[in-house]
Amino acid sequence: MYKILANDGIDKSAKVALEELGYFVDANHYDGAELDDMIKKVDCIVIRSATKIRKPLIDEAIKGGQLKLIIRAGVGIDNIDHVYAKEQGLIVRNTPNSSSDAVAELAIGHMFSLARHIYIANVTMRQGKWNKKQYAGIELNGKTLGLVGFGRIAQSVAKKAMALGMKIIYFDISNQDGILENCKLVSKEELLTKSDFMSLHIPFIKDLGPFLTKKDFDMMKDGMYIVNTARGGTIDEAALIEALDNGKVMAAAVDVFEEEPTKNETLFTHDKVSLTPHIGAATAEAQARIGLETIEVIKEVLS
């Protein structure tokens, strides 16, 4: 019987389906020495964003000689040292087709929240304040949305934003133009200077550092809005706070952080920041789809 460790949990229906197929599924969460021990005893480990599979943990898995498959139940695999894992003969997969719309909807939701002050009005109304005049907002219709990266999630954001009347420009290292009609590939400089709203959809690459630094914020259009549902570290948080304080950025929405849970009190108490706790893929529908896609990967590789 193949043993599967779903270290960051798994959709209940997916767990039942795997067990019915004859797999043993452990959905408990392990850290530290416990995880070092458990990873030697399983054929497959399924993780989300909480568990990091780095070289030392991979070395522990190799000692056990049992692990064959690592699955990131989500889009990115940046929390796995995937190149090293593959060099050790392990198969690394993700579920890229399952959560794109969920993350895209959250990004769009944050844009509405910023544009109409929903995030802060909900707080001040509960404090008994009637800030009607202070919360005059703007409309998304007619605004230029700059997308950083143009993969599945960004394309889903683009389609939804175009339905709202937004103009779409994007910067992507692939330099592929014409992927979607009415979406224009631009340079990073043009993206920074022309975007009214900017939404990030790229992995964090430690060796490259943040995509947005102080220098980038200085180039931006005054009073623009930023949404990050991608990865912590893609924006320099200190530079973002400075840009919020000096008005370069009117408001920002942040779902991902340099450290999670975030301890950056200056950021999470800032009255120009809309916050969510890394919930991009946290919808019932997305989790069910991720579960189904995970099952298909396991069946393909282990069977």
| Catalytic residue set | 231, 260, 278
Give the three-state DSSP class for 176: coil
Polymer length in residues for the chain: 303
The structure tokens listed for 145 are 């949305």
Degrees, nearest 5: CA angle 10-1-5: 30
Distance, CA of 147 to CA of 202 (rounded, Å):
10
Contact 285, 136 (CB under 8 A): no
Other beta carbons less than 10 A from residue 76's beta carbon: 17
| Pairing state between β 91-94 and 69-72 | parallel
Contact 267, 254 (CB under 8 A): yes
In the chain, DSSP assigns E strands to 3-6, 24-26, 44-47, 69-72, 91-94, 144-148, 167-171, 183-185, 197-200, 224-228, 249-254, 273-275
CA 273 to chain centre: 17
Phi, psi of 136 (to 5 degrees): -65, 125
